[in-house]
Amino acid sequence: MTKSPLSAKAPGAETPPTEISALPEESNSLPSDPQLIVLSCLLVLAILTAAYIAADIVLPIVLAFVLNLLFQPAMRQLERVHLPRSLSALMLILAFFALIVGIGAAVSGPASSWAGRLPDGLQKLEQRLHFLSQPIQTFFAFMHRIDGGQGDAGFSLSAVLLKGTQHFAGGFFETILILFFLLVAGDTFLRRTVEILPRYSEKRQVVALSQQVEKDISAYLLTITLMNGLVGLATGIAMWATGLGDPVLWGVVAFLLNYIPIMGPFAGITIFVFAGLLAIEGSWAAFLPAGLYLLIHLVEGEIITPMLLARRFTLNPVLVILSLIFWFWMWGAPGAILAVPMLAITKIICDGVAPLNAAGHFLEG
């Protein structure tokens, strides 16, 4: 049955028995026109092909649209105090930019310090994990192949990192530019759509549907971001308490990894195991950071977040994994971070649009 609040009946309303029995079949029925199905599949395939080929252009646009939905509650609050949209958008953009720059400046020093400890640290890890000596040697061989067998591996890795940093910076400023104009535009596209529709009933339906879908998406993104921030805060405090140090670095790592369900926490556990073995001398104490990180993730992922999001925002875990793999292949790490938000946005839209209710029901966990 349809999950969107738009389809909920008013309290006390009576529905004939024939409509009750026909509603689930109608709302979750698949399109019966084979030509429409084939054309829809071709359209999706064409969009994905364009997204892969033009990733440098499409990825910043998608990220800007997601951030636009995330910032909508703040834009509405600023509009209530009668601030112009352009000024409100500029304030949010500057705050977001300052946050990114501040976090980058805070983690760059600790990250460089940990990177400098890796050459000697890997030998220490090999001594403490002697039973894993063969996999570690395989890892060294793999890294040597990545560097192309060059003698100056550091120069090769530095060049790769510099190239990646320049690529990220270009895409970041493109995202900021698109985001600013999306925030300023506001409901312009919705108003143009309403002006095109011929009947008043269709105008009302489109406005109500778009507002509800935007509200649901904004609530989902805001809830997930706040929970990830709390996970990062708790992780940073836990790492400081265990003696691992650099709480800002580990908090940011936990915050970003929590956007990637299942695979992100596994990567986080691996990172904290190796960091604990490098920084903490005791055998059992070295695994304490990873254990505390796992505990924080279980409390957040299994208790708090499901309670806040409710069932209508849950996703099929198999589709989540497939989405992570697919978008990581398409766009790399940014695609993995955006995979689940994009899947959730797709489900919310399908739940709100009656012809797409069957797809929304299929995506549900």
Q: Name the residue with tokens 């033009």.
A: 54
CA–CA distance from 324 to each of 164, 264, 291, 312 (Å)?
21, 10, 25, 20
The Cα–Cα gap between 364 and 307 comes to 16
pLDDT of residue 13: 45
Q: Residue 276: which of 64, 128, 56 has the closest Cα?
A: 128
- Residue 221's CB: how many other CB atoms inside 10 A? 20
Task: State how far Cα 250 lies from the chain centre.
Answer: 18
Q: Who contacts 72 (Cβ-Cβ below 8 Å, separation ≥6)?
A: 214, 218
The Cα–Cα gap between 117 and 111 comes to 10
- Residue 69's CB: how many other CB atoms inside 10 A? 21
The Cα–Cα gap between 336 and 329 comes to 8
CA–CA distance from 10 to each of 7, 20, 27, 194, 307 (Å)?
9, 14, 18, 26, 25
Residue ranges for the chain with pLDDT beneath 50: 1-27, 150-165
- Residue 163's CB: how many other CB atoms inside 10 A? 10
pLDDT of residue 22: 38
Q: Residue 345: which of 255, 232, 242, 215 has the closest Cα?
A: 215
Domain ranges of the chain: 54-134+158-186
Tokens linked to 269: 């556990």
- Residue 96's CB: how many other CB atoms inside 10 A? 17
- Contact indicator for 6, 209 with CB cutoff of 8 Å: yes
> What global pTM score does this model have?
0.70
Tokens linked to 178: 């698109």
